[in-house]
């Protein structure tokens, strides 16, 4: 039996958790989901994480993926959560409220870590870029399997002067009622731009839209390989738990 850690994935609409075998990258329990409290203040998020830990009767260390730039445990940005989170030391507050040691990392970094450790980027040398397509665009960057934390490539400016995630996120596709082919052409421009800037060995696509890759992959014209994520919705939970094990 492997080493088991509780992984938590904090999202704008739901907070999800499961216990993960961090040697194999497999969930050993069902996911438990609680609606994200509104407003999503640091205190209310911490109390929700405690409820999930209590649900599993779990007392060990917790890994938590969080939708923010995280520096030394401190929350630096807030897009899909309450602004009152900015400046809070999430590691300290969440550990205090839950009564367990909590390590908080950026959510896209957590999902990316799962993919390079157990998924589509496993054992790959060189530069690997993970792009998550959802309400916004998240990113994670790895060199020889080592994380370069807190990249914000969803916020780069495109040639048309628009921020990338305002031009080609899944939310924009739905809002503008774009056909997959039309959206795929936009997304291809974004990927080609990222490919030009970084020259990765591999680009992995995660998030909701990655499950529909067959609908837009014909529009992708990069020479660099582009693959869908293997771990899908479980990646954030698995990666958050696995990062705790790595940092032991």
Q: What is the pLDDT at residue 13?
A: 83
225-245: per-residue pLDDT in tens?
999 999 988 999 999 999 998
**For residue 146, what pLDDT is reported?**
93
Share of the chain above pLDDT 90, in %: 88
246 band by pLDDT with thresholds 50, 70 and 90: confident
Is pLDDT at 1 greater than 60 in this prediction?
no
Query: Is the bond preceding 39 in cis, omega lying within 30 degrees of 0?
Result: yes
Residue 12's pLDDT band (boundaries 50, 70, 90)? confident
Residues 6+ apart with CB under 8 A from 217: 184, 226
Residues 109-137 have a mean pLDDT of 93
Average pLDDT over residues 100-123: 95
Q: Are 13 and 47 in contact (CB under 8 A)?
A: no
Contacts of 100 (CB under 8 A, 6+ apart): 53, 58, 59, 60, 61, 62
Give the domains, in start order, of the chain with CATH numbers: 4-109+234-246 (3.30.420.40), 124-228 (3.30.420.40)
Q: Which residues of 122-134 are buried (b: 16+ CB within 10 A; e: fewer)?
A: eebeebbbbbbbb
- Asked if residue 79 has pLDDT above 80, the reply is no
d(C-alpha 237, C-alpha 31), whole Å: 9
Query: Rounded distance, CA 97 to CA 101, Å?
Result: 10
Strand-pair category, 102-106 with 62-66:
parallel
Is residue 166 very low, low, confident or very high in pLDDT (cuts 50, 70, 90)? very high
* The pLDDT of residue 160 is above 50: yes
Mean pLDDT across the stretch 17-29?
Answer: 97
pLDDT of residue 2: 58
């Amino acid at each position: 039996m492997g080493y088991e850690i509780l992984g938590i994935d904090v999202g704008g609409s739901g907070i999800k958790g499961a216990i993960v075998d961090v040697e194999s990258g497999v969930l050993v329990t069902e996911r438990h989901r609680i609606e994200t409290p509104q407003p999503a203040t640091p205190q209310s998020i911490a109390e929700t994480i405690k409820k999930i830990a209590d649900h599993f009767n779990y007392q060990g260390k917790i890994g938590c993926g969080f939708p923010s730039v995280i520096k030394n445990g401190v929350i630096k940005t807030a897009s899909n959560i309450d602004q009152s989170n900015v400046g809070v030391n999430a590691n300290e507050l969440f550990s205090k409220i839950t009564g367990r040691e909590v390590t908080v990392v950026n959510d896209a970094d957590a999902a990316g870590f799962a993919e390079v450790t157990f998924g589509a980027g496993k054992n790959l040398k060189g530069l690997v870029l993970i792009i998550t397509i959802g309400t916004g665009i998240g990113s994670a960057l790895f060199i020889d399997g080592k994380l370069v934390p807190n990249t914000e490539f969803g916020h780069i400016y495109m040639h048309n002067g628009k921020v990338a995630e305002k031009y080609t996120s899944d939310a924009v596709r739905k809002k503008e009622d774009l056909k997959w082919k039309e959206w795929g052409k936009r997304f291809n421009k974004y990927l080609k731009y990222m490919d030009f800037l970084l020259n990765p060995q591999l680009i992995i696509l995660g998030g909701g839209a990655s499950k529909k890759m067959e609908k837009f992959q014909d529009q992708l014209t990069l020479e660099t390989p582009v693959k869908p994520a293997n771990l899908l919705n479980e990646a954030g939970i698995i990666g958050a738990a696995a990062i705790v094990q790595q940092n032991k």
